[in-house]
Structure 1
Amino acid sequence: MNSEAQRQQPPSTSNVSVREILSPIMAPVPLPHQLSPDQSVTAGNSTTHPDVMKGLCQDDDDRHEPRDPSGEFLNQDAVDVAEAERNFSELSRQLNHASAHTDDLSKELTYATPFSYQFKVVMNRTNLSFLRNANYEATRVFNHVAVALITGLTYMNLPPNVAGVQSRVFTIFQLIVLLPLIMAQVEPAFIFARQIYLRESSAKMYTPITFGISQSVAEMPYSLCCAVGGGGDRAGYALLVVVAVELFAVTGGQAVAAVSPSLFVAAKINPVLVLVFALFCGVTVPTPNIPKFWRNCAETLGSCVLLYAPIW
């Protein structure tokens, strides 16, 4: 009985460690590409035949080492270098193409539309703004009609003698009176329009050049209407001179408004300009009696030329 009980009991494991029991299972299994075709890998009770391992190693080599048309293996580093050279050449070509069109590209990125479309839209909006502001144009016409009536009634039917010629010169001098009137009217309109532009400039809808040109061109039709007169054998030439005075006053007022930070500063600059125009035009003080420096200033400002043109 004792012998049968001893045979039925399991063998003692007191002298066997856990590492020895688990060593067949925990043994590291080499990867297929780390073995030669003649070796085999065994994990537990599973064994891989050498022919199978040969096929696995061949597939692994085909994946990691591409072949060229001649059948020879290519070096992976050479392939990477060739691809890097192609990428570098393509990038260099793109950079050279971009640097050749830097200015055009910067404009396209800054503003969404071309200059022609900007000018068309801004010009249409400026004309519409002037048409809706009827008081602005009515004041312009009233100033011209008032100056024309007062001057015409004062110097009416001048005799053809020296006194008559002198009176005609003083009549032409009244064009200087129109300069401060037009400038004082143009400056507030330009400054208010500039405030709208500064508010819209963050959207990059149109350029400052578009804004400036549209403001000047929108004033021209009303200046031409105010310059029209009738009668006289020199009406055409006089019309051109008055149109030049109108444009000179409009652009001068816009220039003063452009350099002025506010309407208050622009209003303080106007008296100085009017004084310069009146003193150095050659009527209140004859041109030969004006000091040379101020005479050059008068010719530079253009008021002297504008007044001499009708007399000549």
Structure 2
Amino acid sequence: MIDRTATQDEALRDITRSERIFTWEDVSYTVPTPQGPKQLLNNINGYVQPGVMVALMGASGSGKTTLLNTLSQRQTVGVVSGDMLVDGRVLGNDFQRSTGFVEQMDLHDETATIREALEFSALLRQSRDIPRKEKLDYVDKVIDLLELREVEDAIIMSLGVEQKKRLTIGVELAARPSLLLFLDEPTSGLDSQSAFSIVRFLKKLCAAGQAIICTIHQPSSELIQQFDRILALNPGGNVFYFGPVGENGSSVIKYFADRGVDCPPGKNVAEFILETAIKGGHRADGKKLNWNDEWRNSQEHAEVLQEIKRIKHERSQVEAPAVASQHEFAAPVLAQITELTRRMFVHQWRDPSYIYGKLFTAVIIGIFNGFTFWKLGDTIADMQNRMFTAFLIIIIPPTVLNAVLPKFYQNRALWEAREYPSRIYGWVAFCTAEIISEIPGSLISGVIYFVLWYFPTGLPYDAPAAGYVFLMTLLFFLFQSSWGQWICAFAPSFTVISNIVPFFLVMFSLFNGVVVPYAQLNVFWKYWVSL
């Protein structure tokens, strides 16, 4: 136990520290609705410094996650207003690469190991100027920090809930966030012991110099004491407290006590804040308290604004630290494609059901087609059968598409939810890696189908004819996989995909040159089918 603690402490000393201060001023967020614009955040002010852990609290629907997504620049709809600055300067293109974002859901490639997931993040998210060996050495430090050394080669799908949460945090740490770490309800779904373990771990990161902003829902009194500051929200995205927690919640208790609302002895401070905001309170003169207005008119709020002003003035005078690059992605496109393709091949190796399905389809349809039209001759009937046996290759695409589409869409969902917002790799790298990873399986399936179909049917054995059909068969198998990927890439949802695929299959059957020869097609169809 002592050795493990010593190893973790040593790893903490090597973790990249935050050196810059993030401030936000008058941040509002509005989204369009059928009833008109709806404001979800209302003029929110705050800041987070290195070594400080801020808890975003509030009742359900108060805007905790909305604020977290807004501050981390992850909102994709609506209008965001206000100033979000780093050291008094506007956010650069590298902001999302300089921060880590831990999702509430633990989204990973489930067939990867802990080490592989961390190395993937480190290689693609750390600066391209850092040598590969140094990135991999940093992964070892993160593994020790997470206390996952004993299970570093375990497959992610086999991990427990707490281990997955530690891995999710570790994936962000492996990227060396130089600014701060965002976390969306990291204790959600955990038992009390695991939740305390995770928050204590975050507290250690803060002590090592990390800045952390974290949403948390109904924390225990032990958990809330681990945070340095609280930003409390009411429904509508209104702040009613932003300040220090204090020892045993003393700062929070004092703020509300000064306004006539006392916290009962032994009461959980977090519960007290939320209950007070809901129930409200009354002044000495009997008037009902509006906690949103109380905060806006308070001395504490004025001090926050003054502190933000001071930070902006002082930090903007200091020369900005050198930034490795202003590229949207840390790694070049070729490196993104290489690492992502490797991950996809490993996924197929560890979960071969997808490849087995494609090979099984090629074997079964090849055998049935080849032996149904055994040794065709040269009669008129045999010539018709030759056309028909060639036509039957269209039986394969529906089966292959049923496998390709869910796989591509699942990978795209992971990219959209976590890996693109974190700027790990881009759309070009994703599509290229998907296409490359399909090539070996498609080629092997094409060879198997050709052998089992072509030779039993007695089609010409001479090299030019057989070679041409062999080439077309391979191209067909490559085409059907990439065709399915193309459909999935441009469709906005899986429901749309399910609706348009039958249309494409019908078009594919009608205009493949067998049902109606190309020479007999209407000029209109010739033009559009050729596109």
The reply to whether TM is greater than 0.5 is yes
Which residue is 2:407 aligned to? 189
The equivalent of 2:397 in structure 1 is: 179
The residue aligned with 2:111 is none
* Other-structure match for 2:428: 209
Greater mean deviation of Cα atoms: 172-181 or 143-152: 172-181
Q: Which residue of 1 aligns with 2:165?
A: none
Q: Once the 2 structures are TM-superposed, how far is the Cα of residue 106 of structure 1 from its aligned partner?
A: 11
Q: What SS does structure 2 have at the residue aligned with 1:111?
A: coil
Cα shift at 1:281: 2.0
Counterpart check, 1:224 vs 2:443? yes
The 1:107/1:295 distance shift into structure 2, 3 A limit, reads farther
CA contact (8 A) 1:175 1:245 kept: no
* Paired AA for residue 210 in structure 1: A
Q: Is the 8 A contact 1:280 1:295 kept in 2?
A: no
Could you tell me how far 1:215 is from its partner in structure 2?
A: 0.3
With over 3 angstroms needed to count, the CA separation of the structure-2 counterparts of 1:295 and 1:130, relative to structure 1, is same
Q: Residue 294 of structure 1 aligns with which residue?
A: 525
> Out of 254, 266, 270, which is 2:485 matched to?
254
Q: TM-score, normalised by structure 2?
A: 0.35
What letter is aligned with 2:440?
A: P
Match of 2:362 among 144, 161, 170: 144
Distance 1:287 1:121, change over 3 A: closer
Compared with structure 1, are the counterparts of its residues 164 and 115 closer, same or farther at alpha carbon in structure 2 (3 Å cutoff)?
Answer: same
Separation in 2 of the partners of 1:286 and 1:113?
49
Q: What does residue range 82-93 of structure 1 map to in structure 2 within 5 Å?
A: none
**What is the TM-score with the length of structure 1 in the denominator?**
0.59
- SS state at 2:403 partner: helix
Q: Which residue of 2 aligns with 1:242?
A: 473
Larger strand percent: 2
Residue pair 1:169, 1:283 contacting (<8 A) in 2 also? yes
1:14-39 residue CA offsets vs partner (Å, 9 max, x unmatched): xxxxxxxxxxxxxxxxxxxxxxxxxx
Deviation string 1:226-282 (CA, Å, 9 cap, x unpaired) is 111445334432221111101111111001111122222211111101111111223
Q: Tell me by how many angstroms 1:288 deviates.
A: 4.0
* Distance verdict in 2 for CA 1:262–1:107, change over 3 Å: farther
Letter in 2 for 1:168: R
- Structure 1 residues 177 and 296: CA distance shift in structure 2, 3 A: farther
Q: Matched residue of 1:110: which SS?
A: coil
CA distance in 1 between counterparts of 2:474 and 2:491 reads 26
Q: CA deviation at 1:225?
A: 0.5
Q: CA RMSD in A?
A: 2.1
Contact 1:143 1:181 in 2 (8 A): yes
CA deviations over 1:50-91 (Å, ceiling 9, x no partner): xxxxxxxxxxxxxxxxxxxxxxxxxxxxxxxxxxxxxxxxxx
User: Secondary structure of the equivalent of 1:109?
Assistant: coil
TM-superposed deviation, 1:204: 0.9
Aligned equivalent of 1:283: 514
CA distance in 2, matches of 1:258, 1:181: 19
The answer as to whether partners of 1:219 and 1:250 remain within 8 angstroms in 2 is yes
C-alpha displacement at 1:131, in angstroms?
A: 1.6
Q: Distance in 2 between matches of 1:125 and 1:295?
A: 41
Tell me the amino acid that sits aligned with residue 497 of structure 2. Answer: A
Which has the higher Rg, Structure 1 or Structure 2? 1
Q: 1:122 aligns with which of 328, 334, 340?
A: 340
Aligned amino acid, residue 200 of structure 1: E
The equivalent residue for 1:163 is 381
Tell me what 1:60 maps to. Answer: none
1:135 aligns with: 353
Q: Structure 1 residues 216 and 140 mapped into 2: Cα distance closer, same or farther (>3 Å)?
A: same
Partner of 2:496: 265
CA distance in 1, matches of 2:344, 2:514: 38
Post-superposition shift, 1:200? Answer: 1.1
Deviation above 4 Å: which 4+ runs of structure 1? Answer: 105-108
- Provide the C-alpha distance between the structure 2 equivalents of 1:140 and 1:241, rounded to a whole number of angstroms: 18
Question: What whole-Å deviation, never above 9, does each CA across 1:127-185 have from its counterpart, x for those lacking one?
Answer: 11122221111111111112111111211110123322221111111122222222222
Number of residues of Structure 1 aligned to a counterpart in Structure 2: 196
Take 2:443 and 2:324, find their aligned partners in 1: how far apart are those partners?
Answer: 39
Larger helix share, 1 or 2:
1
Whole-Å Cα distance in 1 between the matches of residues 420 and 433 of structure 2? 15
Three-state SS of the structure 1 residue aligned to 2:330 is coil
Tell me which moved more, 278-287 or 231-240.
Answer: 231-240
